[in-house]
Amino acid sequence: MAIEIKMPALSPTMEEGTLAKWLVKVGDTVQSGDIMAEIETDKATMEFEAVDEGVLAAIAVDEGTENVKVGTVIAMLAEDGEDAGDVSLPTGAPAAAPAATENTSTAEAKSAPAAAPAPAPAQASAGDRVIASPLAKRIAAQKGIDLASVSGTGPHGRIVKADVEGVDASAAAPKSAAPAKAASPAQAANEFDAPFEEQKLNNVRKVIARRLTEAKQEIPHIYLTVDVRLDPLLALRKQLNASLEADGVKLSVNDLIIKALARALQREPQCNVSFRGDVMHQYSREDVSVAVAAPSGLITPIIRDAGRKGLAEISQEMKELAGKAREGKLQPHEYQGGTVSLSNLGMFGTKQFDAVINPPQGMILAVGAGEQRPYVVDGALQVATVMSVTGSFDHRAIDGVDGAKLLDQFRSLIENPMGLVV
């Protein structure tokens, strides 16, 4: 009996996703553990592994399709001994509505009724609306193809990749006169009379926008800033890297900052909390979420139990997680959770900034650039390497005095960094 391959829930918060890319094609033999597709979730682009074995008999959802609900049948797998040619998609598949063009609202796309699979080729349009997959649209735009002249062979008469790949742009010109189309997005003018290109938000960017909007609307932020002298920490880092060179370990300033934040939380545990309505969660472990810029958007891999890990272990783990983040290969357990966050923009020369708390966490530490400034050391004015650090605290859970104590402990650990290695 054929096996239904359904859109998986790749994170606890995932309700729908984008089928970014198929890595197998109809007729391919699939083994358990094979990577079948890349799926863009509300957190990152992740690989989808096959659980069952068989031959891919049919694909129900084209690559590039957005808003595919969890549980939607996306493909069919013929089992051993079963003729793949006899396998058909279940009635009503796919459940996801076909993607609409830019002038169609999300509500229209989501409410479009599902139809029986494998319709006869049809002109994929409704009035002035052309129904095509995002991938087909991109290919058509690159080749200068008018989608209104292309017949779609996908579900609901939708234009898919195969429909436009072999089309000659000159042969695909409109056969009859039609009203002049609007200027391309690159040349169109918005209400400010400036050229622009319309870019669709990926799922990660949508979630970032929603969560941070909620954070600023619902969390009463309090901001506290301290200046920290870096010279002692830079000297210790140089010594440690010299001794660890043979082991292939090279500590970054950020590695030491992660450790300092975790150790400061050990000393001031009242800041390692989250507000949960009528209760607060007090954490006994320092799980530091570290902001990393990835192609799909900001993501925060986690150094778990950072207060009890050595600097070399933190460094190696951070390098691995950052690499995975930039390649879109983080697993859910590597970025979900965290008790506090750290955002370091110092490497870009940013002097000081206020970060937005990542709910349900109670705080985030924003680290600016280390720069040479006049600074009083032991009562004398000197030139020192100083960085500004700002803590954003959820004032419902953390009082200003407790936030100040945490920053004082953090400054003490950076300026007396032997506390990070013992």
Strand pairing class (380-394; 371-377): antiparallel
As annotated, the active-site residues are 395
pLDDT digit of tens for each residue in the chain (422 aa)? 688 899 988 776 778 888 888 999 988 888 888 889 988 876 677 788 888 888 888 899 998 888 899 999 999 888 777 777 777 777 665 544 333 333 333 333 333 333 333 354 444 544 455 777 666 777 787 788 888 888 877 655 768 777 877 777 665 555 444 444 454 554 444 567 788 888 888 777 888 888 889 999 999 999 999 999 999 999 999 999 999 999 999 999 999 999 999 999 999 999 999 999 999 999 999 999 999 988 778 889 999 999 999 999 999 999 999 999 888 888 888 988 999 999 999 999 999 999 999 999 999 999 999 999 999 988 999 999 999 999 999 999 999 999 999 999 999 999 999 999 98
- What domains can be seen in the chain, in order of their start residue? 3-86 (2.40.50.100), 106-191 (no CATH), 220-420 (3.30.559.10)
Q: Residue 331 carries which DSSP code?
A: -
Instruction: Specify the pLDDT at position 172.
Output: 53
Query: What per-residue confidence (pLDDT) applies to 176?
Result: 47
Give the pLDDT score at 422: 83
Integer angstrom CA distances of residue 174 from 147, 177, 185, 402? 9, 7, 20, 69
Phi and psi based region of residue 266 (left: phi greater than 0; alpha: psi -120 to 50; beta: remaining): alpha
Q: Output the pLDDT for position 191.
A: 65
Supply the pLDDT for residue 175. Answer: 47
pLDDT of residue 177: 45
Q: Cα–Cα distance between 263 and 260 in angstroms, integer?
A: 5
Spatial CB neighbours of 418, under 8 Å, sequence gap ≥ 6: 236
- 3-class DSSP state for residue 282? strand
42's tokens: 């509300």
What are 265-269's contacts with CB under 8 Å, separation 24+?
265/307, 265/339, 265/340, 265/406, 266/307, 267/409, 268/402, 268/405, 268/406, 268/409
What's the pLDDT score for residue 303? 98
